Amino acid sequence: MLQKKTILAPVQKVRLKFAKKGEARFISHLDLMVAFNRALRRAKIPLAYSQGFNPHPSMSFGPPLAIGFESDTELADIELTNHMELGKIVKSLVKETPPGLEILEAQQVPAVAKSLMASIIGALYSVKVEGALAVELPVGVQITNQHGNIVNLLMELPLGEKNKRPDKVCAEILAPGYKVLQIKRIQFLFK
């Protein structure tokens, strides 16, 4: 006879901030969720699960990052069944995450806080390019640094708008013959 597994209610909500660099920039959003699920399990973090016939871990991630882009500021919310020190969560996860995923910090989030996706309205991207800039820069784009023919652009992009990926914006801003060297998400903008 099958026994029904008891599902514990979440008692703590934690927001993890992590970086996605190097080889990890080629991990898709869905594979990132699987990697975090495995890391949390191996680190013995008391993760809460949904109720129902097929329980899933109670974790949610910020907006997906295009494959090949790096990020200094990815976010994930996890719910725990037991209280844990934030420093202990970070220390445990650092040992278990794949190369290129760097756990930067953990913050306590109120249980009634808006979901991560509902509270983010945009993101800042840093784009390193080689080549010439077009004459006019669109609103929300500024040059932060220029050395020879390497230009670092800082773009503020609202999320959810069609064709607003940083590489598409670069195609509009830059003159023909440019080369994009790196695109990196550096910060989220909240409501």
Give domain status of residue 177, yes or no.
yes
Torsion, Cα of 56, 67, 92, 76 (10° steps): -50
Can you give the pLDDT at residue 122? Answer: 82
Q: Point out the domain boundary residue: 74, 97, 113.
A: 113
Give domain status of residue 76, yes or no.
yes
Same domain, 89 and 181: no
Can you give the pLDDT at residue 77? Answer: 95
Give domain status of residue 2, yes or no.
no
Can you give the pLDDT at residue 134? Answer: 55
Can you give the pLDDT at residue 111? Answer: 85
Q: Tell me the CATH number at 32.
A: 3.30.70.580
Report the half-sphere exposure of 53 (CA within 13 A, side-chain side).
0
Measured between alpha carbons, how far is 23 from 10 in angstroms, rounded to an integer? 33
Can you give the pLDDT at residue 163? Answer: 56
Q: Which SS3 state, helix, strand or coil, does residue 30 take?
A: helix
Same domain, 95 and 171: no
Can you give the pLDDT at residue 40? Answer: 95
Boundaries of domain holding 94? 12-113
Q: Point out the domain boundary residue: 89, 113, 137.
A: 113
Same domain, 83 and 126: no
Q: Which residues of the chain have pLDDT under 50?
A: none
Computed on alpha carbons and rounded to an integer, the radius of gyration of the chain in Å comes to: 19
Per the listing, tokens 């990196």 go with 184
pLDDT tens readout for residues 34-65: 999 999 999 999 999 988 888 889 999 998 88
Same domain, 100 and 126: no
56-93 burial by CB neighbour count: b if 16+ within 10 A, else e?
A: ebbbebbbebeeebbbbbbbbbbbbbeebeeeebbebb
Same domain, 25 and 62: yes
Give domain status of residue 1, yes or no.
no
The total number of structural domains that make up the chain: 2
Same domain, 47 and 137: no
